[in-house]
Amino acid sequence: MLATLADHPFSDPNWLFEIKWDGVRALARIENGDLALRSRNAIDITKRYPELASLPDALAARQAVIDGEIVALDAQGHSSFERLQERMHVRAPSENLVAQMPAVYFAFDLLYCDGYDLRDAPLLERKQLLQRLLYTSGRFRYADHQLEHGKELFALAEQNGLEGIVAKRADSPYVSDRSAYWVKLKITKTVDAVVGGWTEARTPALPFGSLLLGLYEGKKLRFIGHVGSGFDAKKLKELSSRLKELATPASPFDAVPETNEKPSWVTSALVARVKFSGWTQEHALRHAVFHRAPRGCASHGLPMGERGCRYKRARLHSSRGSRARKSSAVCSTQEPRLKMSCSRGARNGHHRTGWQTSAAKQPEQNLFSRVRSYQAKSSGLLLPRSGFHFALSARPGFGSATLSRRDQGPSLLSKRFAGRRPGVVQNRAD
């Protein structure tokens, strides 16, 4: 099941919100102690992650299909796609590579369990059952969620430098397709980068393939990558004409960058505002998309370099509240907020949540316990429309909550798996 892309975070009592992991999506099939991992393209990737082979022992079920994400965590507990890239294409990793770049499986959905197809069950019930059956550890983790408060979670993810969040309708079924029931909200940043050249297009229909970008460090222009998307026909024509006017035989970068296509160079008189998702370990832009040429900068006749730009020159920062990066000198801006229309469910009867902050060693894993403190006056939370009764365990982080229909008695999942607890294999024969 794939999520649709949205522009703006929202809060809604009928939705739950999860951290968006920057890794590899993987369906895990467990059958009689054996594990098979398959990617989004149905490729068997089981042997690429031998450290995940013990997942069947961590689940209190004989047969199951789990949806989740394989990630590699950095020292701060953030998922790092750069680290995972050193593993994802290695078909038979050595013990040394596994030890240096260990993979972690974050499970966030349960599609099948011991003879029961759960895809038509509400998402909140599927997640609750998964939490009860999974014995979590450093290798296998349950992907927690936040009910209703999407804006707050998005802001917290932005402060912690994460990729974004995923919003899901709490009562949604599992559909093997891209669906509006799931919405992904990416955290993007912008930077005003100097255009130092362009690459040749792979098709004659386009005037150029991509723009080569850089940032000044002192008087040296450092290459930070290229951008080849986000151009409409009018912008391609305008930029092509301007690039030809500024063409020069010598590279303006302090070191000539390696490119996939033939490069051409320009004097450093153009600035492009680019949206991007983050930085690689080599300090290059990730997922760069051309936004526009900012007014008052080099693209309007004021060259970059010693004279700089009308914007206040500052060190580049990747997100609000994060530590400034050392190797840049042009201005950066925050991504403009784009409005997204979304249906707001009835808020009658929803539980109010109190918020407080506390320290957390691993920002992504403990994100929810860091900002959330439930102040329930009754024994649980009442979700509108669905009628679920969410009884929280007295032990924080321990998956012993149960779901039931307040007006219809215990649900199918509650009756079927009522006695199961993480790490305890029960009733496997049935």
Region 397-412 average pLDDT: 35
Q: How far is CA 361 from CA 137, 364, 374, in A?
A: 15, 9, 21
Q: Comparing C-alpha atoms, which of 417, 189, 365 is closest to residue 291? A: 189
Helix %, strand %, coil % of the chain (to 5): 15, 35, 50
Phi first, then psi, for residue 284 (nearest 5°) are -115, 155
Q: Which is it for the CA torsion 286, 290, 293, 298, positive or negative?
A: positive
CATH number given to 2-187+344-416: 3.30.470.30
Chain centroid to Cα 39, Å, comes to 17
The per-residue pLDDT for range 325-381, each reduced to its tens digit, is 333 333 333 322 222 223 333 333 332 222 222 233 333 443 444 333 322 222 222
Alpha helices in 160-305 (DSSP H): 233-245
Region 227-256 average pLDDT: 91
With cut-offs at 50, 70 and 90, classify the pLDDT of residue 129.
very high
Q: How far is CA 21 from CA 164, 273, 392, in A?
A: 8, 26, 25
Residues in the chain: 430
pLDDT at 414: 53
For residue 169, the 8-state DSSP code is E
Q: Which residue has the tokens 């955290």?
A: 187
Alpha carbons 309 and 189: distance in angstroms, whole number: 20
For residue 52, the 8-state DSSP code is G
Compare 382 and 136 and report the one with higher pLDDT.
136
Q: Comparing C-alpha atoms, which of 125, 243, 120 is closest to residue 176? A: 120
Alpha carbons 46 and 206: distance in angstroms, whole number: 41
Decide: 177 and 3 in contact? Cβ < 8 Å.
Answer: no
Q: Is 20 a catalytic residue?
A: yes
Decide: 34 and 210 in contact? Cβ < 8 Å.
Answer: no
Both tokens of 72, joined, read 């590699």
pLDDT at 294: 62
Positions of CATH 2.40.50.140 in the chain: 189-334
With cut-offs at 50, 70 and 90, classify the pLDDT of residue 110.
very high
The per-residue pLDDT for range 261-281, each reduced to its tens digit, is 999 999 988 999 998 877 877
Positions of CATH 3.30.470.30 in the chain: 2-187+344-416
The per-residue pLDDT for range 344-356, each reduced to its tens digit, is 333 333 322 222 2
pLDDT at 203: 86
Compare 224 and 318 and report the one with higher pLDDT.
224
Burial class of residue 354 (count of CB atoms within 10 Å of its CB; 0-12, 13-18, 19+): exposed
Portion of the chain with pLDDT greater than 90, in percent: 50
pLDDT at 419: 58
Alpha carbons 273 and 200: distance in angstroms, whole number: 21
pLDDT at 161: 82
pLDDT at 413: 60
Burial class of residue 43 (count of CB atoms within 10 Å of its CB; 0-12, 13-18, 19+): exposed
Q: How far is CA 377 from CA 149, 196, 316, 381, 398, in A?
A: 19, 61, 46, 9, 21
E strands, 53-177, are 63-71, 104-113, 116-117, 140-142, 146-147, 164-169
Active-site residue identified among 20, 127, 168, 275? 20
CATH number given to 189-334: 2.40.50.140
The per-residue pLDDT for range 285-300, each reduced to its tens digit, is 988 889 887 644 433 3
